[in-house]
Structure 1
């Protein structure tokens, strides 16, 4: 019984650690999205979650490590969402639309965390910029493959098409109002349809 109680206590302690870590990431994301990376200190984050600053370092050894974990979580959630949306979809244009819809839904549900994954958020001057860019490139590679699979005329620059698509999708959170006008699915459909019909009309 004593061993069983000890294992149960260890499991509870481990889960409490995970929950506390998630609380820290959530509050850190809110603060950084509002005040910027440089404008948010570890002391600010500790205060927001009701911890002593020293206790925060038990979960994350530095602000850089915390931000990397936060960025990785946001990007991983987006990637998982897109992967699920692509299951069972075969037509290249339909696949691009499904991925675009999932991407847009993820952006809108992330709220202020959208700022965290913006290429401009950190810039290139930080020592963790390379790791951040690598995560972002890994995610964008999915869309690169989707665009490469499209039946397009040879003169079309697929890189520019992908950048145009991301620009349209990533700008949406700045003007979107939930419950007013088109929903995320309609918006993604409209954006992809514009490209699709423009190129299909040329054949």
Structure 2
């Protein structure tokens, strides 16, 4: 049921997906679905939670054992891109459906999203960004750029994900290099 809900939410959006449609796709009755989840919002929370957990596991696995801050961040960016660009509907739900799209459960979705974004907060805290730079905004800009990648990325476009991850971080590295050069 979760897999089908994730696929429908990713393809059609949350509001365009109905419980009747999910019931038909799962060979269940609407009542049987409501036996498992009280509301469609609860189903979205379950799908969102699974999507966030899958991305977290991928990022955590990628950075495990790496001690150098920039390499940790680069590995996290690459694994995030891999997670949101694979065939998983769960990751696409996390990227496509924003917490404010469903006001009834926005606080629950924000908690899940924040649980993931905490990884990037910690990664940015390990960087030596210039004091005049806002690390929180830099982190949010990076997350926004990464999450927009599914809109334009084409696997046959000649750009590998590792190269894209490096380019996403290039402005931050330049900023740091400029800062370190001026403080020498």
Task: Confirm or deny a common fold (TM above 0.5).
Answer: yes
Give the aligned partner of residue 51 of structure 2: 74
For 1:34 and 1:51, locate their aligned partners in 2 and report how far apart those are by CA, in whole Å: 20
Change (3 A) 1:88 1:125: closer
* Residue 46 of structure 1, aligned match among 6, 23, 26: 23
For 1:138 and 1:122, locate their aligned partners in 2 and report how far apart those are by CA, in whole Å: 13
* Structure 1 residue 61: Cα displacement: 2.5
Give the aligned partner of residue 7 of structure 2: 30
Give the aligned partner of residue 41 of structure 2: 64
Query: TM-score, normalised on structure 2?
Result: 0.89
Q: In terms of mean alpha carbon deviation, does 26-35 or 101-110 score higher?
A: 26-35
Contact 1:115 1:121 in 2 (8 A): no
Query: TM-score, normalised on structure 1?
Result: 0.81
For 1:82 and 1:122, locate their aligned partners in 2 and report how far apart those are by CA, in whole Å: 22
Give the aligned partner of residue 12 of structure 1: none
For 1:26, what is the secondary structure of its paired residue?
helix
| Higher alpha-carbon Rg | 1
Q: 2:171 aligned with 1:194, yes or no?
A: yes
* Structure 1 residue 37: Cα displacement: 1.6
1:166-181 correspondence to structure 2 within 5 Å: 166-181=143-158
* Structure 1 residue 139: Cα displacement: 0.8
For structure 2, list consecutive stretches of 5 or more residues without a partner in the other structure: none
Give the aligned partner of residue 94 of structure 1: 71
For 2:156 and 2:96, locate their aligned partners in 1 and report how far apart those are by CA, in whole Å: 28
After the TM superposition, which parts of structure 1 deviate over 4 Å for at least 4 consecutive aligned residues? 110-115
* Structure 1 residue 74: Cα displacement: 0.2
Q: In terms of mean alpha carbon deviation, does 105-114 or 154-163 score higher?
A: 105-114
For 2:33, what is the secondary structure of its paired residue?
helix
For 2:167, what is the secondary structure of its paired residue?
helix
Aligned residues: 180
Q: 2:123 aligned with 1:158, yes or no?
A: no
Change (3 A) 1:133 1:167: same
Q: 2:69 aligned with 1:123, yes or no?
A: no
For 1:127, what is the secondary structure of its paired residue?
helix
Contact 1:37 1:122 in 2 (8 A): no
